[in-house]
Amino acid sequence: MGLFGRLVDDLVNTFVSILKGHQVTWRNLWRERVTLQYPNERPKLPERYRGLPGLHPELCIVCGACAKACPVQVINIQGRKIAGTRHRELVRYQLEAGRCMFCGLCEEACPTKPVKAIRLSNTFELAVADKSALVLEIPQLLEIWKSKPVEVPEEQYLAATPKKLAAQELAKQAEGEKPKAEGAEAAPRPKRVAAEGGPAGG
Amino acid sequence: MNLPITLTGIVEGALAPLGLQGLTPLVVYLLDALIILLLLIMPVVTILIWLLRKMLGFIQRRLGPMRVGPFGVLQTIADAVKLFHKEDLFPANADRVVFALAPFLVFVPAVLVYVVIPFGQGDGFVTKDLSVGLVYLTAVTSISAIGIITAGWSSDNKWSLLGGLRSAAQLVSYELPMTLALLGPPLMAGTLSLSGIVAAQQSVWFVVPQALGFLIYFIAALAEIAHLPFDLPEAESELVAGYNVEYSGMRFGLFFLGEFANSFTICLVATVLFLGGWHLPFLGGLPLTSWQTGLATVATMALLGGGIWYLNWRRAGWTSATRWHWLGYVSAAILAAIVLVAGLVGFISVVITLVKTSLLVFVLMWLRGTLPRVRVDQLMSFGWKALVPLGLVNFLALAFQAATGIPTGWVLNLLFFVFVGWLLLFAWRKRWAYSAVS
Amino acid sequence: MATETKQTSEPDGVLRLGGPGLAAEPTGDIHEIETDHLEVSMGPQHPSTHGVLRLKVKLDGEWVTEVQPEIGYLHRGVEKIAENRTYFQFLTITDRLDYVAAMACNAAYAVAVEKLAGLTVPPRAELCRVIVQELDRIASHLVSVGTYGLDLGATSPFIYAFRDRETILDLLEMVCGARLTYSYIRVGGVARDLPEGEWRTRFRQFLDEFPPMLDEQDTLLSENEIFLLRTRGVGVLPPEVAVNYGTSGPVLRGSGVAYDVRRSKPYGLYPQLDFNVVTRPTGDCLARYQVRVEEMRQSVKILRQCDQLLDEIPPGEVLAKGARGVKPAAGEAYASVESPRGEMGVYLISDGSNKPYRLKWRSPSFVNLSVLSAIGRGWKVADLVAIIGSIDPVFGDVDR
Amino acid sequence: MSAHQLAFLVLGVLILVSALMVVTVRNLVHAALFLILCFAGVAGLYVLLQAEFLAVAQVLIYIGAITVLILFGIMLTRKITGGAQPPLASHWKAAGAGAGAFLLLLLYVAMTGQWQVSDQPPMDSTTTLGLALVTRYVLPFELASVVLLAALVGAVLLARDETR
């Protein structure tokens, strides 16, 4: 191919290639949009979505597995024994959402059944005006927890909370019976769980 | 068409008691320029920017601006307000005077161009129909190069200096093929006045006998205004943003507006010089009443506007983001009414010109949505090795035709048409070595 | 593999490489008039550096005479963090390395720990791993190819690429709940089995719809003459230089060296799968781009096989026993996977505790980037942008 | 006072002041910008004289092309502000004498020359100009073209890169 032939070939290539690109963009001009008008239209989140962690304080057995499993140590948990029983209740539960990386290890470590006390919700709008608002306390955490639907009916999962179990235990003690571990079996022993969740604190 | 009350009359009446009648033409010019700036350029540029973002969005399967006003029409105004609010920054070592001056050197010529452009038929639609209109056009557009290179230099930033130098080289190089291509229409029309050139296109638009010239002009003009395949002076991925890196606030806004005003200008000039200005296709030779022309134009406008509306509706649907859609229909109705009335009164030629221009603007946006950017040496070699020789051949053929009557120009363009036809018919099916790999 | 190189040390200490692109290298001394070289800093806040890369560039007009990458702006001390996390916990940190292809990071780490601790991964988990890794490879290559278009000034391919990537991210989100920081591939298996029902339908739909979309998007770039002008013959990396610098992934395969960890050091389910190692002989930017595009097609091929395997391998256990509290015996191990950017390797030393004694991350982006100062010289600024884009570094991966 | 006179006055002052600034200002870029202003003023004078084509050509060539090149050159040099040197060149006396002599010559020609003055502007100055260039002044026109061509070839030769 001579110089002229090459020139013509180049010209043809250029023209046709540019026209082809335009054909693509023209086709796309008539296609449906793929974007979402976000605040007006909400994204449909999958069931496994990992958003802000929420906590149900009634369900928590204060085993500390979540705090130990957390790779970035954003969970600060304080509990106390309910006097005279083997059960514990929450005193304080702090989650520093600003440092949380939504890995979900806390949820995986949580031993409560049938619903986990700490669950990653579908909340993904995390912007706050003040950094201190990112430190979540129990009331906020409960709200977040409740924002995600639960398959089990409420009366069922709230049937065996540590407080109720403790009350039962105390009542039984008052009746003079030896505290049997009937209710405690519903809530597994914390020590074993902690070992499974990884001894982060150790 | 002349309005019953002329601007000149009003100004003269106002100045006469002061004994300053002599200044009337000057004041009329200034007022004319102001009116053009405020009533034409600003709204047109505003709408253009919206249109560009909308079209780009559609091409990319997005919606583009949707928040401010119906379908986001007022987005540009919101952006301008934001730009006005921004702090006007000066870099520490900048040459303050030059830095402050440069945006105006870019923006003012972009506006000055409109002085000679006939928007419609008759004296009322052109500020000053210079007998050397075409030369004026090229002269004024060449000024913006100074603004760009001084902007690049005065920012005291290496990237913007590089951008400024690039653009200076680019503007100077592409002025040559552009001017060569622009020589065609006046040669055929026998006048340099833009109104005269449009008038000469009554029977046949110059894009037919000057297809090659039109193509060269359009490509070179793209390079002149630094539009996408040639937007090297502000290649954001290479030079950050080129000459306007350091600009902020309304000074940046002026560059921005100037750029869009320029893209409107090149389309307008192409319309006036090659696409027959206010003449309608195939109807150029027919005597049409303003009614008929008006109806034809309304139909075109409805098609254009309806197209965009349809696209937007199809994508956005009836979400709450489009709850102001009725405002869109109202404004469309008002627009249609204006066009209808304009057709009756005689403004219709302006509307036709603008419709043609906006079709060309759409082509610009289409290009912008499709092409990558060329490299600086490729740009130069394309300009000097392809466009300049082609432009010279085209011009010589036409000049020979004008001097001797032998239709060399026609033959050349016939060949061009044959080439394009062959390209579309046969080469389209060719598979490329690089298309399917492995 | 070729080890002979054409490197020669010049008397002035400047390393010159013999490549077709470098033969035309301009230097300051060719001009009789003394000229200044312009030294500019490209980055760390430059729109085309794919992250926080800073390049010290010396320019002679538009020509690049010297380029030196400066890294470390994103350094987070990941290797040190590893020493303070249990083997299981550290996995969540690996998401932050190559954040464009976090599945590969998860996989590299998991494979290394499994080798160190002698864990056996359940077959279903292996299948899940391949699926998410290949999906993630496509997503990562889409980012690379899309932003490459953007580097060269084309905006639409970028948007189209991200549109398709969005589909993949949706799929991965359904699998593990996150779009970038998956933490899905765990030490000893995967976090959960793949969801059934809707996910499977959408997965198949994606496999059908993606290839034509890819072709269309590719038309915009590799069939466009301007794009070809910008990439063909630009930034040529000769195979011997590529090997000597230790590059891997598309950068190496673009130079014609058929090295792919999935084939060369097979792991997981890959030996059973049928796919080609894509190479291109030319070693220019276009070759690297094309390798990526073709690898996406190969990934689709792999995923189609996996779709069948999903029916053959029944759902079951997806995490090996004892993976959570894994405590490897004292020793060391190196394992690597083929990330979208190349060989991503993890070298682990255990002292017998539940935390790594030392972790070394061999990040492909870091190694690939080092070749930049060798091939970046002698081109124009615009070409430099094209070259960086074709190397496709991810800074989470480079700086660690 | 008519608009004409006012415009002439304004333009005259503009041209003189900017011309003075061009030679006195130390910053070379500023000098170039004043040069643009000066050229623009001259273009304005052409407009006043109804020589539209000349005015536009002045803008196109002097402002749009020549000063762009001057600026281009200046910006690539290092010392834009001129440093501590006195603004006057060392041979200012000789230069001044030359300029003075030229001024005298101009004055003499202006005073003694026969200037055709008519109230009617030429009907189409562009056509007249074009015809004059290709008929009566064809030789000087072609000579100038040859000189420019030679300069062009010379520039290419100078800028050519032997090694590339």
Most confident of B30-39, B75-84, C295-304, D90-99: C295-304
What domains appear along chain A, each with residue ranges and CATH number?
53-157 (3.30.70.3270)
Domain extent for C178: 78-364+383-399
At B314 the pLDDT is 63
| Helix residue ranges, H only, chain C | 78-82, 87-94, 102-117, 123-151, 156-176, 198-222, 225-231, 239-244, 250-253, 261-264, 285-312, 364-369, 372-375, 381-391, 395-399
Kind and range of the H or E run holding B160:
helix B158-182
pTM of the predicted model over 0.90: no
- Going by C-alpha positions, the residue among A154, A79, A147 that lies closest to residue A119 is A147
Domain count, chain B: 3
Q: What is the pLDDT of residues D87-144, one digit of tens each?
A: 566 777 888 899 899 999 999 988 887 777 666 666 667 777 888 888 888 999 899 9
Is there a domain that residue C49 lies in?
Answer: no
Closest CA in chain B for residue A37: B321
Does C160 contact chain B (CB < 8 Å)?
Answer: yes
DSSP state of B278: T
Same-domain pairing of B273 and B200: yes
Neighbours of chain C (3+ CB pairs under 8 A): A, B, D
Task: Kindly state whether residues B313 and B273 are assigned to the same domain.
Answer: no
SS3 C220: helix
DSSP label of C318: -
Residues of B in contact with A35 (CB under 8 A): 61-63
Q: What is the pLDDT of residues B344-377, one digit of tens each?
A: 555 667 777 777 887 888 888 888 888 888 887 7
Q: What angle do CA C125, C127, C132 make, to 5 degrees?
A: 95
- For an interface test with D, the pick among B99, B135, B243, B388 (most D C-beta atoms closer than 10 Å) comes out as B135
pLDDT tens-place string over residues C21-33:
343 444 444 444 5
If you ran DSSP here, which 8-state letter would residue C180 be given? S
Q: Residue B391 and residue B176: Cα distance in Å, rounded?
A: 9
B301 confidence band (pLDDT: 50, 70, 90): low
* H/E segment holding residue C41: strand C38-42
Q: Cβ contact (<8 Å) for B135 and D76?
A: no
d(CA A148, CA A45) in angstroms, rounded, equals: 11
Residues of B in contact with C253 (CB under 8 A): none
* Spatial distance between the Cα atoms of B92 and B84, rounded to a whole number of angstroms: 21
Question: Of B371 and C17, which is predicted with more confidence?
Answer: B371
* B230: its two tokens: 């040639």
B38-67 mean pLDDT: 74
Say whether pLDDT at B65 is over 50: yes
pLDDT tens figures, C375-400? 888 888 888 888 888 888 888 888 88
Omega of the bond prior to C26 within 30 degrees of 0, cis?
Answer: no
Q: Looking at the domain assignment, is residue C5 inside a domain?
A: no
Q: Are residues B216 and B129 in the same domain?
A: yes
C320 compared with C297, residue with greater pLDDT: C297
Q: Is the same domain home to B75 and B93? A: no
The residue written with tokens 């070379």 in the block is D28
Q: Side by side, which strands form the sheet with A75-81?
A: A75-81, A88-96, A135-136
Chain B residue closest in CA terms to C163: B61
Give me the helices (H) in B183-324, please. Answer: 184-189, 194-199, 211-224, 236-239, 249-273, 290-316
Asked if B59 has any chain C CB less than 8 Å from its own CB, the reply is: yes
Where would I find the H helices in B36-87?
Answer: 42-59, 75-85
Q: Kindly report the CATH number assigned to the domain that includes residue C277.
A: 1.10.645.10
pLDDT at B304: 65
Count Cβ atoms below 10 Å from residue C61 Cβ, excluding itself. Answer: 17
Kindly state the average pLDDT of the residues B336-349: 62
Contacts of C328 (CB under 8 A, 6+ apart): C87, C113, C116, C117, C118, C348, C350, C352
DSSP secondary structure letter of residue B5 = S
Label residue C3 left, alpha or beta by phi (over 0 means left) and psi (-120 to 50 means alpha). alpha
CB C240 within 8 A of CB C226: no
Q: Mean pLDDT over all residues of chain B?
A: 75
DSSP 8-state assignment for residue D117: -
With a cut of 80, say whether residue D1 has pLDDT above it.
no
Q: Is the CB of B146 less than 8 angstroms away from the CB of D63?
A: yes
pLDDT band with cut points at 50, 70 and 90 for residue B297: low
In angstroms, how far is CA B63 from the centroid of its own chain? Answer: 24
- The fraction of chain D above a pLDDT of 90, given in percent, is 15
Give pLDDT, residue B167: 80
Q: Does residue C52 belong to any structural domain of this protein?
A: no
Residue B434 lies in a domain: no
Position B110 confidence tier, pLDDT thresholds 50, 70, 90: confident
Q: Residue B399 — very low, low, confident or very high, per pLDDT cuts 50/70/90?
A: confident
- In 3D, which of C19, C28, C36, C10 has the Cα closest to residue C65? C28
Which of B31-45, C47-61, C132-146, D42-56 is predicted with the least confidence, judged by mean pLDDT? B31-45
- Burial of residue D104 (number of CB atoms within 10 Å: 0-12, 13-18, 19+): exposed
Alpha-carbon distances, residue C260 vs B128, C266, C273, C277, C391 (angstroms): 70, 9, 14, 7, 16
Say what the pLDDT of residue B313 is: 65
Residues 6+ apart with CB under 8 A from C112: C333, C334, C335, C345, C346, C347, C348
The whole-number pLDDT of residue B237 equals 64
Question: How distant is the Cα of B139 from the closest Cα of chain D, in angstroms?
Answer: 4
Do the chains contact at B146 and D4, CB–CB below 8 Å?
A: no
- CA D47 → CA B27, B78, D24, D121, distances in Å? 16, 41, 28, 12
* B149 inside 8 A of chain D by CB: yes
Name the domain count of chain C: 1
Q: B touches which chains (3+ CB pairs under 8 A)?
A: A, C, D
Residue A98 in contact with residue A104, Cβ under 8 Å? Answer: no
Q: Which chain B residues are Cβ-neighbours of A19 within 8 angstroms?
A: 424, 428
Residue keyed to tokens 């891997």:
C248
Do B415 and B271 share a domain, yes or no?
yes
Domain end point (choices B63, B82, B101): B82
Cα C110 to Cα C191: distance, rounded to the nearest angstrom:
12
User: Can you tell me the ipTM of this complex?
Assistant: 0.75
Q: Is residue B432 part of a domain?
A: no
- Segment B15-20 shows an average pLDDT of 70
Q: Which chains touch A (3 or more CB pairs under 8 A)?
A: B, C
Is residue C369 one of the residues assigned to a domain? no
Note the pLDDT tens digit of each residue in B142-192: 888 888 888 888 887 778 887 887 787 888 888 888 888 888 888 888 888
A162: helix, coil or strand?
Answer: helix
What is the average per-residue pLDDT within C158-185? 88
* Structural contact between residues C60 and C298, judged by C-beta atoms closer than 8 angstroms: no
pLDDT of res. B40: 62
Query: Residue A93 corresponds to which tokens in the numbers above?
Result: 């539960």
Segment among C245-254, C284-293, D76-85, D155-164 with least mean pLDDT: D76-85
The verdict on B115 and B64 lying in the same domain is no
DSSP letters, A28-91, are: HHTSPP----TTTS-----TT---SEEE-TTT-----HHHHH-TT--EEEEEEEPTTSS-EEEE
| Same domain as B234, residue B107 | yes
Q: Residue type at D54? A: L
Angle at C247 between CA C242 and CA C252, to 5 degrees: 65
* Chain B, window 132-191: residues with a beta carbon less than 8 angstroms from a chain C beta carbon: 158-159, 162, 166
8 A C-beta contact, residue A104 and residue A116? no
Compute how many other C-beta atoms are within 10 angstroms of the C-beta atom of residue A143.
Answer: 13
- Residue B310 φ then ψ, to 5°: -60, -45
- Residue-number span of the structural domain to which B296 is assigned: 291-345
Say which of C88, C156, C354 has its CB closest to residue A25. Answer: C156
If we measure between CA atoms, which residue out of A113, A123, A107 comes closest to residue A75?
A107
B214: left (phi over 0), alpha (psi -120 to 50) or beta: alpha
* Statement: residue D147 has pLDDT above 90: yes
Check if B249 contacts C (Cβ < 8 Å). Answer: no
Could you read off the pLDDT of B86-105 as tens digits, one per residue? 877 788 877 778 888 888 88
Distances (CA, A) of B117 to B133, C219, C320, D164: 8, 40, 78, 46
- Specify the pLDDT at position C31: 43
The pLDDT score that the predictor gives to residue C15 is: 38
Task: Say which of A14, A25, A69 has its CB closest to residue C225.
Answer: A14
Q: Are residues B177 and B153 in the same domain?
A: yes
Give CA–CA dist C128/C131, Å, rounded. 5
pLDDT for C71-90, tens place per residue?
888 888 888 888 888 888 88
CB spacing of A25 vs B366 below 8 angstroms: yes
Same domain, B24 and B62: yes
Can you give the pLDDT of all 202 residues of chain A as single tens digits? 577 777 777 777 777 778 888 888 888 877 777 788 787 778 888 888 888 888 888 888 888 888 888 888 888 888 888 777 777 888 888 888 888 888 888 888 888 878 888 888 888 888 888 888 888 888 888 888 888 888 888 777 777 777 777 788 788 877 775 555 444 444 444 444 443 433 333 3
Q: Of B41, B254, B37, B263, which is closest to residue B151 (Cα–Cα)?
A: B254
Packed helices D28-48 and D3-24: angle between N→C axes, nearest 10 degrees: 160
Do residues B309 and B198 both lie within one domain?
no
Contact of C14 with chain B, judged by CB distance below 8 Å, is answered with no
Contacts of A14 in chain C (CB under 8 A): 225
Amino acid at B82: K
| Structure confidence at residue B44 (pLDDT) | 66
Instruction: Using pLDDT thresholds of 50, 70 and 90, give the confidence band for residue B435.
Output: very low
Rounded distance between C-alpha atoms, residue B378 and residue A14, angstroms: 13
Among candidates B173, B175, B205, which has minimal Cα distance to B188?
A: B205
Higher pLDDT residue, C48 or B263? Answer: B263
Question: What is the CB neighbour count within 10 angstroms for residue B215?
Answer: 18
- Chain D residues with CB under 8 Å of C24 CB are 164
Read off the pLDDT band of C11 (50, 70, 90).
very low
Q: How confident is the model at residue C9 (pLDDT cuts 50, 70, 90)?
A: very low
With respect to residue C354, please indicate whether it lies within any of the assigned structural domains: yes
pLDDT at B39 over 70: no
Radius of gyration for chain A, computed over Cα atoms and rounded to the nearest angstrom: 28
Q: Does position C186 have pLDDT exceeding 50, yes or no?
A: yes
| Two tokens, residue C275 | 């796919």
Inspect the interface and report whether the beta carbons of C92 and A20 lie closer than 8 Å: no
> Which of residues C190 and A161 earns the better pLDDT score?
C190
Asked if residue B432 has pLDDT above 70, the reply is no
Tell me the sheet residues that pair with A54.
A119
Question: What is the per-residue pLDDT for D69?
Answer: 81
